[in-house]
Structures are given as C-alpha cells and as structure tokens.
Chain A
Amino acid sequence: EPEVTQTPSHQVTQMGQEVILRCVPISNHLYFYWYRQILGQKVEFLVSFYNNEISEKSEIFDDQFSVERPDGSNFTLKIRSTKLEDSAMYFCASKGGSGGAGTQYFGPGTRLTVL
C-alpha cells in the first residue's frame, strides 16, 4: 500500500540553524501539506501546495518557512533560522482525488528539537 514517507524521523538542531525536512508523498497525489504538532497539543495546519505553488498558508508559516518540490517526488519544508518554539512534530500529508476532494494521508512525522 502506498504511503507518505518522511526523513529524518528525528532532527536535533541548535537555535538559529537552518533545517530541511523531507517528505515523499504518495506518487500519484497532487496536493501536499505540512502540519505541526507541538508536544501534547493539537495538529496545526502550516501550508498547502499545489501545482508548484503555495495554495494557502497559516499565520504560523512566516518568512522563516519555505516549501519546495525540487523534483517529481520530494516535498520539503525549510526553516531558515530555527527558534526554540519551532520544536514540534512536523507532519507531511498528501492528497489525491478528483477535484481534490480526497483524503489527506499523513507521513510518520519528523520530530524537530531545537536546543
């Protein structure tokens, strides 16, 4: 069964460093998303991406964040200068479906720890 994969599973970084979180969506999906979950809290939307551009972004997704689909398979989230409050689990999701009315399937997540 196709699945979304994410690497690394755990990333530890120093405050102010850049990190890139990687995702490989399900191969025939066209819509891609990033969410985050601070420990013990709810899952929050960050950004959606379709047709090689951002469709929607939340208030959390400020200038420190960027997304890219550098090739036909990967979807990345970059945090330019990490802060302590960026520590969270980051989930990638992808969706297929005609007209986009499908289900988002999530990857296993990347736990980001900023020291």
Chain B
Amino acid sequence: AQKVTQAQTEISVVEKEDVTLDCVYETRDTTYYLFWYKQPPSGELVFLIRRNSFDEQNEISGRYSWNFQKSTSSFNFTITASQVVDSAVYFCALSEAGGANSKLTFGKGITLSVRP
C-alpha cells in the first residue's frame, strides 16, 4: 500500500523568508511518480511538479525547488523568498504506476501562511 506523510500541518512565515515543506512517502513499487499540488483559498488543485522515481535530479523553477531523495523516501519542496500569494495548502501525492490504475494518494496537506 502506498502512503504519503506530511508531518507539518501549518507553517507561518514572513514574506521573503524561505520555507521548506516536507514529504515522506512509502511504496513497494520500484517505479512510481511523485507530485506536488497547490490548493489556494479559491479551492482548486493546481499541479506544480511531477517527478519519476528513476530521476533523482533536483529541480528548480523560479522561486520553487524540489529535493528528491530515494534513500530517505522524501520529496521536499522549498519556496525561496516567499510571497503572500504563496499562501495556500500544499499537497504531496504519490502514484504507484502509469496507466489507468494510477490513482493519486495524497498527504494531509500543509497550510502555508505568508504574512506581509
């Protein structure tokens, strides 16, 4: 069975601070996919990134960066120089396979509040 743990529930930072959101996953599969989604106050789920299990390269996209470490089963997300618009709930998710049977298992989410 697959499981995603986001131990942090709420994080509050002041604008321009860096913040890291932690994600730890469990799976028996050797091929899997990891995702981060953002849920702003308006409620929609916005895709941020997908990472394949066989690609451990870290990724940077503007102020966002992701650190994937298979050795610790972690896929952490860092926002550099946070902004008020980053305030949202962030979900880490895991999919064990491609194809139709590739349901997403979500963590409980981390509520990030960025204060001006």
Contact = CB atoms under 8 A, between A and B. Distances in A.
B2 to A, nearest CB: 11
Nearest to A57: B103
Given A43-B91, A109-B43, A55 B104 contact: no
A107 B95 CA distance: 19
B107 A42 contact: yes
Contact of B106 (A42, A105, A107, A111): A42
Given A103-B50, A106-B47, A109-B44, A42 B98 contact: no
Interface in B72-116: 91, 93, 95, 98-109
A55 B99 CA distance: 10
B35 interface: yes
> What range describes how many residues of B lie at the interface?
20 to 34
A95 B102 contact: yes
A4 to B, nearest CB: 10
> What range describes how many residues of A lie at the interface?
20 to 34
Given A43-B45, A103-B50, A109-B44, A31 B100 contact: yes
Contacts of A97: 98
8 contacts: A43-B93, A43-B106, A55-B100, A55-B101, A100-B102, A108-B43, A108-B44, A109-B43
Interface of A: 31, 33, 35, 41-45, 48-51, 55-56, 58, 89, 91, 93, 95, 97, 99-109, 111
